[in-house]
Amino acid sequence: MSELYQHRARKRFGQNFLHDAGVIHRILRAIQPREGEHLVEIGPGQGALTAGLLGSGAQLDVIELDQDLIPLLKLRFGLEKRFTLHQGDALKFDFASLGDKAHTLRVVGNLPYNISTPLIFHLLDQAGLIRDMHFMLQKEVVERLAAEPGSGDWGRLSIMVQYHCRVEHLFNVGPGAFNPPPKVDSAIVRLVPHAELPHPARDHRLLERVVREAFNQRRKTLRNTLKNLLDAEAIEAAGVDGSLRPEQLDLAAFVRLADQLAAQAPAP
């Protein structure tokens, strides 16, 4: 076996390479890539999913940060006409540069756990390009993404992702599917950007601000956590009980609070 195939997972990149053939097949079945589609794989690693994605006949762009993996990926897939390799940081990648029409790009990735949340927010900024996303994430993160109001997992990540997307927790994956095995369980999640937002806010930046303030001290009541943004009368005017804790509110209620903040903002 050549030295190229003896690449060791790097802790600083959060690398855990998927090797379980059964799990790989199950992920590919969940994605169902098809000929003529345009997929982007973030962090292909040693190409465990890449081969199956290309085998579907789809066009595939991959984004890999680790320079040491570039020769391996070029050796395995470089002659494929439908394969394009981008060496760089997915957190800084401009997905619009791929030139796709609205809601056509399909994004896939076994995401390093240390960048999963900021990367998801980066992709949400470009959600209009994306048809769907399938990610391997830490199980706890997927539970937060898919959480419902009233649960301990419901928070900023749940609300802002569900504002933009439908979330499906597909299945869990144990540590043994990876080399080296991580110390946590993983899960596969599907995120599908809404064609039309179910609860559109007047200003989604204000929604982000309200949600962030509300959950900074999640054990306190909204009257206390939002006092720097909205007084008790304004919270009531939004149709929200100020004595509730933030985890008790659904997405629609947070949008009403954000719209109330927008309404009281001075005109530019």
- pTM for the model stands at 0.90
Fold designation for 3-193? Rossmann fold (3.40.50)
pLDDT (0 to 100) of residue 99: 78
For the chain, give the mean pLDDT: 91
Report whether 242 contacts 223 (CB < 8 A): yes
Cis ω before 180 (30° cut-off from 0): yes
Report whether 187 contacts 170 (CB < 8 A): yes
pLDDT (0 to 100) of residue 183: 87
DSSP at 162:
H
pLDDT in tens, the chain (268 residues): 333 344 444 444 445 778 889 999 999 999 999 999 999 999 998 898 999 999 999 999 999 999 999 999 999 999 999 999 999 999 999 999 997 788 899 999 988 778 899 999 999 999 999 999 999 999 999 999 999 999 999 999 999 999 999 999 999 999 998 888 888 999 999 999 999 999 999 999 999 999 999 999 989 999 999 999 999 999 999 999 999 999 999 999 999 999 999 998 665 5
CATH of 204-264, one of 1.10.8.100, 1.10.3720.10, 3.30.70.3460, 3.40.50.620: 1.10.8.100
**CA torsion through residues 181, 182, 183, 187, sign:** negative
Please give the C-alpha separations between residue 139 and each of 24, 123, 150, 198, 222, in angstroms, as whole numbers: 17, 20, 19, 26, 29
Domain ranges of the chain: 3-193, 204-264
The number of helices, as runs of H, and strands, as runs of E, in the chain is 10, 9
CA 78 – CA 209 distance, rounded (Å): 44
Name residue 42's beta-bridge partners: 63, 109
Task: Give 175-212 pLDDT, tens digit per residue.
Answer: 998 888 888 999 999 999 999 999 999 999 999 999 99
Report whether 114 contacts 107 (CB < 8 A): no
CA 226 – CA 253 distance, rounded (Å): 14
Residues in contact with 76: Cβ distance below 8 Å, sequence separation at least 6, in sequence order: 47, 50, 51
Q: What are phi and psi of 57, to 5 degrees?
A: 95, 0
Strands 165-173 and 186-193: antiparallel
CA 254 – CA 162 distance, rounded (Å): 12
